[in-house]
């Protein structure tokens, strides 16, 4: 009897044999004509005749599933999304609304929650359809590009899981990296700030360090900053110079957010960075504790200035990507915080930034 049920139930299981499916590695969404969704998919197909090829298909339809059906009509293999790694959105689409796309992908069980989401400057279709000379599989390439930068902590991480979390929490907005084509390469060019599900502003890629340092803890990131003339303590210079370029990698950063005043929300933001200075140009005497202390002071000043600037920018566009609202909600009783409410409060929020920068080492001789 058991054996018989085995035999009958065999038909119920739907098979997706690897060499019979076309694997979508990347999907890009754009605004299509007449409010349709324009989808560009990078699909890897493996055929016995040729090694393997990457198809970039663009379709227009009312839903993303409709697009998938349309793409299916053009390919010899069943399209599956289980191996999808990246979702891209066109800039124009992001400025309209992304809610639908986040929900659809979140609800689809075969889409992993670990896929990266990013914004494309311009249209995704033009980025994906361009014939790059050295990039064979544009889908994998973009995935590795983002993954590598996130792991190195050069860029904020924006997986579907994180985006959905930030999107549904009342005191935080999400942010995504922006990518664009740079001749024969694809580069990460900045960070897109969102208000609700609409993209409202961008920050340059350099600022991702400050965003990261305020958003979460930092472990391995490398950073380079320029100390301007007025910040440079003159006594540490061996030669007169207008500016000092300092490159350091943060060994450990710790941030502490404290709500000091709940009425007109005022936060104390204490950031502790322990770092290793890698390069200083022009040279200073790092053997002297006094000049090291002065350098620390100068960097602290510079960092807090930059962080204030980044926060001010986000306040201006009412996009709390740092999660001050979360802190507010957890500290203030009965706040009944909603997204709209917080967006209004956030605009007038005050933040006191204190940076405590410690130089632990200044490089190792090998």
Partner 1 sequence: MKFKLPFNKQQQQPVQEAPKENLVRVAHATDHFIQSIKNATNNPADLIVKYLPPNVTLIYIDNLIDDQTLNNDIIANLQSKPHDTPEAIEMALSIAEVSQSSLLRETVELMVNGHVVIHIGGFPQTILANIASRESRALSAPENESQVIGTQVGFNESLSTNISLIRRYIVSPNLCNEKVKIGTRTSTSVSLLYMRGIANDQMVQTMRQRIKDLYIDELIDSAVLAEMIDDNSLSVFPQMLLTERPDRFCDGILDGKIGVLVDGSSMAIVSPQGFTEFFQSQEDQNLRWQIATFLRLLRLAAFFLSVYLTPFYVAALTFHYEVIPQAFLVPLSESRALVPFPPIFEALLLEFIIELLREAGARLPTKIGQTIGIVGGIVIGTAAVQAGITSNILLIIIALSALASFTSPSYMMGNVIRLIRFPIIILAGFWGFYGIMLAFCFILIHLLRQSSLGAPYMSPFYPPRLKEMRDSIIRMPVPLTSKRPALTRPKDEHKFVPEPVKPDKS
| CB-nearer residue toward partner 1: 46 or 75 | 46
The enclosing H or E element of 360 equals strand 350-361
Min dist. Cβ of residue 229 to partner 1 (A): 48
- In whole angstroms, give the CA distance from residue 190 to residue 200: 13
Report the alpha-carbon distance of residue 175 to residue 193 in Å, rounded: 5
Rounded Cα distance between 279 and 267, Å, is: 33
- Cis status of the peptide bond prior to 282, with omega within 30 of 0: yes
| Cβ proximity to partner 1, 11 vs 287, nearer residue | 11
DSSP state for residue 15 in the 8-state scheme: P
Minimum Å distance from CB 51 to partner 1? 6
Nearer to partner 1, 52 or 63 (CB): 52
Q: Closer to partner 1 at the Cβ: 31 or 54?
A: 54
- Between CA 86 and CA 139 the distance in angstroms is 8
Q: Which is nearer to partner 1, 139 or 177 (CB)?
A: 139
Shortest separation between residue 162's beta carbon and partner 1, angstroms? 20
- Angstrom CA distances, 350 to 154, 311, 346, stand at 27, 10, 9
Q: Can you give the binding site for partner 1, defined by CB under 8 A?
A: 6, 9-10, 13-19, 21, 23, 25, 44, 46-48, 51-52, 80, 82-83, 85, 110, 112, 140, 143
- 45 sits in which H/E element: strand 37-45
Ranges of H-type helices in 180-320: 208-215, 289-316
* CA angle, residues 27, 31, 33, in degrees to nearest 5: 125
Q: In this complex, which beta carbon is closest to partner 1, that of residue 8 or of residue 365?
A: 8
Rg (the chain; Cα; Å): 24
Q: Are 236 and 291 in contact (CB under 8 A)?
A: yes
Give me the least distance between CB of 83 and partner 1, in Å please: 6
Q: Shortest distance, CB of residue 17 to partner 1, whole angstroms?
A: 6
Least separation, in Å, of the C-beta of 8 and partner 1?
Answer: 11
Separation of CA 351 from chain center: 23
Two tokens at 5? 């049920």
CB of 69 to partner 1, least distance (A): 20
- Taking the least distance from each CB to partner 1, the nearer of 25 and 197 is 25
Residue 62 or 136: the one with the smaller Cβ distance to partner 1 is: 136
Nearest approach, Cβ of residue 98 and partner 1 (Å):
24
Q: Side-chain half-sphere of 209: how many Cα atoms within 13 Å?
A: 15
Shortest Å distance, C-beta 116 to partner 1 = 13
- CB-neighbour burial class of residue 278 (10 A; exposed 0-12, middle 13-18, buried 19+): middle
The answer to whether 42 and 10 have CB atoms below 8 angstroms apart is: no
Nearer to partner 1, 77 or 181 (CB): 77
């Amino acid at each position: 009897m058991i054996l018989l049920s085995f035999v009958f139930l065999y038909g119920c299981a739907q098979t997706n044999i690897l060499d019979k499916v076309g694997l979508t590695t990347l999907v890009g969404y754009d605004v299509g004509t007449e409010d349709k969704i324009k989808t560009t998919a990078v699909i890897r197909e493996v055929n016995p005749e040729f090694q393997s090829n990457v198809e970039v298909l663009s379709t227009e339809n009312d839903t993303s599933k409709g697009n998938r059906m349309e793409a299916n009509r053009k390919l010899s293999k069943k399209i599956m999304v289980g191996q999808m790694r990246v979702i891209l959105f066109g800039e124009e689409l992001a400025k309209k609304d992304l809610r639908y796309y986040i929900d659809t992908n979140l609800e689809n069980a075969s889409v992993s929650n670990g896929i990266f989401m990013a914004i494309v400057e311009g249209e995704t279709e033009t980025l994906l359809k361009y014939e790059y000379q050295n990039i064979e599989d544009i889908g994998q390439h973009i995935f590795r590009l983002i993954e590598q930068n996130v792991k190195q902590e050069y860029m904020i991480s924006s997986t579907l899981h994180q985006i959905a979390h930030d999107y549904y929490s009342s005191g935080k907005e999400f942010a995504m990296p922006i990518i664009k084509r740079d001749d024969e390469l694809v580069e990460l060019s900045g960070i897109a700030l969102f208000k609700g599900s609409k993209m409202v502003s961008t920050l340059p890629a350099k600022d991702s360090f400050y965003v990261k340092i305020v958003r979460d803890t930092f472990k391995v990131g490398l950073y380079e900053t320029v100390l301007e003339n007025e910040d440079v303590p003159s006594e540490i210079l061996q030669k007169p110079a207008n500016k000092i370029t300092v490159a350091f990698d943060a060994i450990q950063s710790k941030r502490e957010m404290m709500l000091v005043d709940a009425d007109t929300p005022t936060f104390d933001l204490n950031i502790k960075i322990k770092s290793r200075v890698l390069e200083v140009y022009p040279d200073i005497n790092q053997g002297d504790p006094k000049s090291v202390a002065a350098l620390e002071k100068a960097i602290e000043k510079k960092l807090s200035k930059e962080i204030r600037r980044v926060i001010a920018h986000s306040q201006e566009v009412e996009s709390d990507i740092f999660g001050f609202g979360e802190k507010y909600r957890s500290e203030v009783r009965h706040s009944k915080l909603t997204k709209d409410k917080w967006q209004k409060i956030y605009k007038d929020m005050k933040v006191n930034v204190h940076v405590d920068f410690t130089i632990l080492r200044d490089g190792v001789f090998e």
